[in-house]
Amino acid sequence: MCVYKRVLYELCNHSRYSAKVERKCDEQKAFDKGEGAEVCKKVSSHPLATLKVAGQCPRCDGSQKTVTQKLQKAKDMISQSKKTLASTDARCRAILEDVGIDMSVSGSSSDDNDDVEKLKGEMNELDGKEGSGKDNAAAEEFLKKRKESDSAKLYM
C-alpha cells in the first residue's frame, strides 16, 4: 500500500487524496525497477501525511454558494411581492375612499353581520335567482370567515 497525502476538510468531513505518491510500497518499487508484475493499486494515508483544512471542500463550497444565491433570490422576490402588495393595498384604499367607504375604522360584529347579509343579497341579485340553501350557507360561511379574519380589510 502506497502512502498518499490526504487533505481532510473539517467543516464537511470530506477528504481528498493527492495524485502524487508520498511514500511508495515495496510492490510499487519492484514494479518501477521492472521486477513487479502490476502497479500498486492500494491507496492509503498516514496521520503524518494528512493535512486538516478548517473549511469546506470545493464541491461543498460551490453548492453552498448556489444555495445562498437561491435563498437571496427568493428573499428578493418576497420583498418585491411585499412592495407590490403594499402599493396595491394603498391604491385599493384610495379607490374605496373615493367611493365613500371608510377603511380606517373597523366595524362592530353587528355591522359585520349586516354586511354579510348585504353581500349575500348582492350575490343573489347577480346570480338572478334565490339559490338553494346549501349554496347560500356555504357562501355565508365563507364571507363570515373572511370578515372575522385579522386581515379582513385586505379582502374588501
Helix (H, G, I), strand (E, B) or coil at 77: helix
- pLDDT per residue as tens digits for the range 108-117: 455 667 777 8
pLDDT band with cut points at 50, 70 and 90 for residue 129:
low
- pLDDT per residue as tens digits for the range 19-39: 888 888 888 888 888 887 888
**Top-confidence residue, 140 or 90:** 90
Rounded to two decimals, what is the model's pTM? 0.41
Burial 128-139 (b: 16+ CB within 10 A, else e): eeeeeeeeeeeb
pLDDT at 141 over 60: yes
Return d(Cα 112, Cα 125) in angstroms, integer: 20
